[in-house]
Homo-oligomer: A and B are copies of this chain.
């Protein structure tokens, strides 16, 4: 009996250690993807990589949300049709399904609404929803795949954006060192990263950067204590609400994989994590970290890099004689 009880006790401890470990922390482990429409995912993956959704035939979703590079383009602001300079830093698509809304100013309610934006934006892919559908509808392999996925002979933009959004829901990055630690492996974090996390909580960073994505759950003013100065024209939420008080209210960016998603802030003006931490602390809480404190925070931030999406590069179905041709130079 003693032995049985001992085994039971050990098993319960392990269960509690893994299932409930550190349930009190402000950052939660990334939930695994459990309910997904695989047909939509596979179709959406092709569409995500298909530059024929742009008028030039050159720019795809993956151009600015490059899945080889943390789901971002690692540029201050993005490059659009005819090399137009984009107005804002391209946010990572990784874990974006956890965002309260999409875009820095939250003007799209969800991933599906977001996906339609760049296709028709003259400064980005510069196509139109009508043209994008004409292109897809001219390609028999797409027609068949849409039919099998949506039970419809006619492709609509809602199907296109739904499939892209469903693919994007798979782009979660579990198993970071920090998540391993959250889930009970006390050795997963270095002492430096652990010290950084304590400091992160104590100084209030976790007031905004919390939840499974360590951000993305609220809109907050950039420059609570010290105003932020930038030449970038983006105004944040006020551009959506029209309220002056919403100026510089931005969706809090996720800190997941932040090691990969440089440069930082909506204007991309912070080139390194060290710089970003320094500016944030000054703007938001009016403090100045020592070099050692800053390095501890950075060590913690780097522990948030998770397993990157792993999949076979999609092969796109070829255009046909009827497919509208790209017009890159018109």
Question: By the criterion CB–CB under 8 Å, are B70 and A318 in contact?
Answer: yes
A:53-92 near B, CB below 8 Å: 56-58, 63, 66-70, 73-75, 79, 82-83, 85
If A83-B83, A312-B313 touch, whether A74 touches B321 (CB-CB below 8 Å) is no
Which of B79, B274, B308, B316 has a CB less than 8 Å from the CB of A58? B79
| Chain B residues near A57 (CB-CB < 8 A) | 73-75
Q: A57-B75, A68-B316 are in contact. List 15 more A-B contacts (CB 8 A).
A: A49-B68, A51-B66, A52-B74, A58-B63, A58-B79, A69-B318, A74-B319, A74-B326, A75-B328, A259-B318, A262-B318, A272-B321, A274-B321, A312-B312, A313-B313
Compute how far the CA of A328 lies from the CA of B319 in the bound complex, rounded to whole angstroms: 30
B-facing mask of A152-171, CB < 8 A → 1, else 0? 00000000000000000000
- Tell me, rounded to whole Å, the shortest Cβ–Cβ distance linking A52 to chain B: 8
Question: By the criterion CB–CB under 8 Å, are A83 and B82 in contact?
Answer: yes
A:35-62 near B, CB below 8 Å: 49-52, 56-58
Q: Could you list 14 A-B pairs, sorted by A, with CB under 8 Å?
A: A49-B68, A50-B68, A51-B69, A56-B75, A57-B75, A68-B316, A69-B318, A74-B319, A83-B83, A85-B329, A259-B318, A260-B318, A274-B321, A308-B315
A314 at the B interface (CB under 8 A) = yes
| Chain B residues near A147 (CB-CB < 8 A) | none
- Tell me, rounded to whole Å, the shortest Cβ–Cβ distance linking A298 to chain B: 10
A288 at the B interface (CB under 8 A) = no
Question: By the criterion CB–CB under 8 Å, are A311 and B312 in contact?
Answer: yes
Question: Which residues of A are in contact with B by a Cβ distance under 8 Å?
Answer: 49-52, 56-58, 63, 66-70, 73-75, 79, 82-83, 85, 259-260, 262-263, 271-272, 274, 308-316, 318-319, 321, 325-326, 328-329
Chain A at the B interface: SS class: loop
Question: By the criterion CB–CB under 8 Å, are A68 and B314 in contact?
Answer: yes
Question: By the criterion CB–CB under 8 Å, are B316 and A69 in contact?
Answer: yes
Which of B309, B313, B325 has a CB less than 8 Å from the CB of A67? B313
A50 and chain B: residue at smallest CB distance? B68
Compute how far the CA of A263 lies from the CA of B57 in the bound complex, rounded to whole angstroms: 12
- When all copies of this chain in the complex are counted, the total is 2
| Chain B residues near A85 (CB-CB < 8 A) | 328-329
Compute how far the CA of A312 lies from the CA of B319 in the bound complex, rounded to whole angstroms: 24
| Chain B residues near A271 (CB-CB < 8 A) | 321, 325
Compute how far the CA of A186 lies from the CA of B266 in the bound complex, rounded to whole angstroms: 61
If A262-B319, A319-B74, A321-B274 touch, whether A56 touches B79 (CB-CB below 8 Å) is yes
Compute how far the CA of A70 lies from the CA of B317 in the bound complex, rounded to whole angstroms: 10
| Chain B residues near A309 (CB-CB < 8 A) | 313
A274 and chain B: residue at smallest CB distance? B321
- Tell me, rounded to whole Å, the shortest Cβ–Cβ distance linking A231 to chain B: 13
Compute how far the CA of A238 lies from the CA of B73 in the bound complex, rounded to whole angstroms: 40
| Chain B residues near A314 (CB-CB < 8 A) | 68
Compute how far the CA of A316 lies from the CA of B69 in the bound complex, rounded to whole angstroms: 6
| Chain B residues near A75 (CB-CB < 8 A) | 56-58, 326, 328
Compute how far the CA of A328 lies from the CA of B82 in the bound complex, rounded to whole angstroms: 12
